[in-house]
Amino acid sequence: MLATLFVITSALGLVISNTATAVLMAPVTLAIAKDLGASPYPFAMIVALASSAAFMTPISSPVNTLVVDPGQYSFSDFMKVGVSFTIIVATVSVCSFRFFCRCADRIGVTLNPKPVATTTRFRLPKYVAIS
């Protein structure tokens, strides 16, 4: 599941900025983790890393866009190098999270946060007037 989320997030990062990718995928990822009954931490970190792995296009990151003209790079130059870097980052990220989760289970550290009551009501302060 983590690898699938990495691929989807990095594919989305090809056409929009890395910040927008993280903001768009974070709620989706947290909902998936909740439905699976898993800890949201590995899922959120995979999205953060995948959205930061903006190596494949000059659109993905402002830094990539800044170096296109001075370096006389083409779109295909980013694809040549970026695909291999993204595969490396995906492999290392997914494997390391699986390893760290197993180690946390062995030493007794829980990655599942305590459930928070979602039935709290929002109350406006008394001095706020609604007209």
Q: pLDDT at position 113, please?
A: 58
**Domain edges within the chain:** 2-107
Task: Give me the tens of pLDDT residue by residue for the chain, a chain 131 residues long.
Answer: 888 999 999 889 888 888 888 999 999 998 998 888 888 888 888 999 898 887 888 877 778 888 888 888 888 888 888 888 889 988 998 888 777 777 766 666 666 655 555 555 656 556 655 55
Q: pLDDT at position 118, please?
A: 54
Q: pLDDT at position 105, please?
A: 65
Distance CA 42, CA 98 (A): 9
Q: pLDDT at position 115, please?
A: 55
Q: pLDDT at position 28, please?
A: 92
Assign 3-class secondary structure to 15-65: CCCHHHHHHHHHHHHHHHHHHHCCCHHHHHHHHHHHHHCCCCCCCCCHHHH
Q: pLDDT at position 78, please?
A: 85
Of 34, 101, 115, 114, the C-alpha closest to 26 is: 34
Q: pLDDT at position 23, please?
A: 92
Contacts of 69 (CB under 8 A, 6+ apart): none
